[in-house]
Structure 1
């Protein structure tokens, strides 16, 4: 897989738009698969990245599902969980016998339908760490400096294609790495996002707001303990250093940090509640792990989802 490999980025939102734009800037052959409405907006304004003193504008190569005419070497799937089923259908003409598919969704539930449709031979695991959002103009806004992309074979094998893909994605202004156990890495990120999501959605505030009041610091620790217990019971214990980092994140005085789940709730937008929270608590029941706080957060998010979609 050389540096001229054809890359299809599915979605041009906060995640796909950011990483895809960086790859374009690094000279990679990138096409964005988007909906007609998003395509019209991007053709009018360009793909823009702002925040942290950045003002980047690129003219992306765009395509809609009906316009795909052949296979790509790499397909990066960066849609919301609610759009996954449609995306799986849309990319079919872009997937050939040698295409590598890398999904960057939260949780792990998306692996099952992707594997069922395209086979584990084609699908890698992936984790992205980036703090971005999309503003009312459709521009991508950076909220923090971190930007990292991690990939790996689902069975943990150090295959040549993973090393070659890591090289293809490297040198583009974000960190890249191959995980020795990508499924475990996906679980560990899942622990983080459910912890910060449950904490902020239950307490309705930023981390700093929460730890500033009695019981706030203890709430973060209790939610983390539940999420980490589910991961451990599933065979993916969270390493001590990651637990320490998450603990620090949810107990930092004065922190203005809020996760995307909370920001969507405050904005009255639909969320990935079932994919991120519903799936985790269902697995917790199967594994006989009690999760009262995560159950409460899931219920709250389901009520929010009902209000926004009914």
Structure 2
């Protein structure tokens, strides 16, 4: 199986490195930057939970050809870049190529399906986590289970099952999801809880829980998100979801620097529109008030628009 990963950030690097370590035929696609150049020159260094470090030879390409014939394309760019990036490379894929999105937030599957109406497309979500510590070096700092939805296309489903087997063999625990939309919403609750709040406070995930005020903010954004999810037909309990999010911050992902925090620290565009912004937008659709998510989305957008004017 020939695999292409679109996006060589922390998660693309983690998946690519783990798959390559199992001798899978995998390539990454990303614009040139210092992280990419280091990987191409010296390999990708992956630091695991016991601080054991391995270096994997990995290739990140900037040009794609129709002759490359990828069986599966895993999309891991930031949600706001999905359309532009995929439009620029869509001619490189055949009609049999299976596209898999495991991106943060809502709406990614719809964007990809619109761009590739004749290709099989499935969505999933990640339970694992990683961050770029320095160019060419990532920290593997989340070890939850990944989920991917089924494909209605028989050939694509066979390819998908082979891909899931490869991920499990690589140590990235992955399961086929019968109800992938519920899984995606459950991941969204965690992202709503931690991404924007850590970006605003510039704290690691667990540190926003050091005060009652932080816990109250988390409860507010998650509870609103659960109300919107219910309106979208997702069966979910608010108190159980809040408790799960709190537990994750205290036990599983507390040491992580969220992707949105890293975006703000590096003065990059965030995924706020696909996370808290998506909750606020759907809330308006259903007539549900979402003051926490509205306010947080607005503040993050103000920060994004004024990076050059920030006071040191």
Same-fold call, TM cutoff 0.5: yes
Deviates more, 1:177-186 or 1:84-93: 84-93
- Structure 2 CA distance for aligned equivalents of residues 206 and 60 of structure 1: 29
Instruction: Give how far 1:14 is off.
Output: 0.3
**Does the 8 A contact of 2:190 with 2:245 survive in 1?**
yes
Question: Which deviates further from its counterpart, 11-20 or 40-49?
Answer: 40-49
Which has the higher mean CA deviation after the structures are superposed, 267-276 or 18-27?
267-276
Corresponding residue for residue 224 of structure 1: 222
Q: Is the 8 A contact 1:188 1:231 kept in 2?
A: no
> Cα offset for 1:75?
0.6
In structure 2, what is the equivalent of residue 20 of structure 1?
Answer: 16
Tell me what 1:153 maps to: 150
Match for 1:174 among 153, 172, 181?
A: 172
Question: Counterpart of 2:260?
Answer: 261
> Given the alignment of the two structures, is residue 92 of structure 1 paired with residue 87 of structure 2, yes or no?
no
**Partner in structure 2 of residue 133 of structure 1:** 131
Query: Which sections of structure 1, spanning at least 5 residues, go unmatched?
Result: none
CA contact (8 A) 1:128 1:148 kept: yes
Q: Secondary structure, in 3 states, of the residue corresponding to 2:146?
A: strand
Q: What's the counterpart of residue 246 of structure 1?
A: 245
Cα distance in structure 2, aligned partners of 1:113 and 1:54: 38
8 Å contact from structure 2 (residues 219, 242) kept in 1: no
How big is the alpha-carbon RMSD for the aligned residues of Structure 1 and Structure 2? 2.9
Corresponding residue number in structure 1 for 2:70: 72
Distance change (3 Å), C-alpha of 1:185 and 1:208: closer
Following the alignment from structure 2 to structure 1, what is the Cα–Cα distance between the partners of residues 185 and 101?
A: 14
Matching residue of 1:300: 299
Deviates more, 1:76-85 or 1:146-155: 146-155
| Contact 2:79/2:105 (8 A) holds in 1 | no
Aligned to 1:50: 47
Structure 1 pair 16–300 and aligned structure 2 pair: CA distance change class (3 A): same
Report deviation, 1:289: 1.4
Do the aligned residues in 1 keep the contact of 2:71 with 2:96 (CA within 8 Å)? yes
Q: 1:63 aligns with which of 50, 54, 61?
A: 61
Unaligned runs of 5+ in 2: none
Distance 2:308 2:281 in 1: 22
CA contact (8 A) 2:19 2:170 kept: yes
Q: CA 1:57–1:161 in 2, change beyond 3 Å: closer, same or farther? A: closer
Displacement of 1:270: 2.7
In the alignment, the residues of structure 2 paired with residue 21 and residue 209 of structure 1 have an alpha-carbon distance, to the nearest angstrom, of 29
Aligned length: 303
Q: Tell me: CA distance 1:70–1:226, structure 2 relative to 1, closer, same or farther (3 Å).
A: same
What's the offset of the Cα at 1:139? 1.9
Counterpart in 2 of 1:7? 3
Could you say which residue in structure 2 is the equivalent of 1:102? Answer: 100
The CA distance in 2 between the partners of 1:107 and 1:14, in whole Å, is: 17
Sort the Cα spacing of 1:69 and 1:185 in 2 relative to 1 into closer, same or farther, 3 A: same
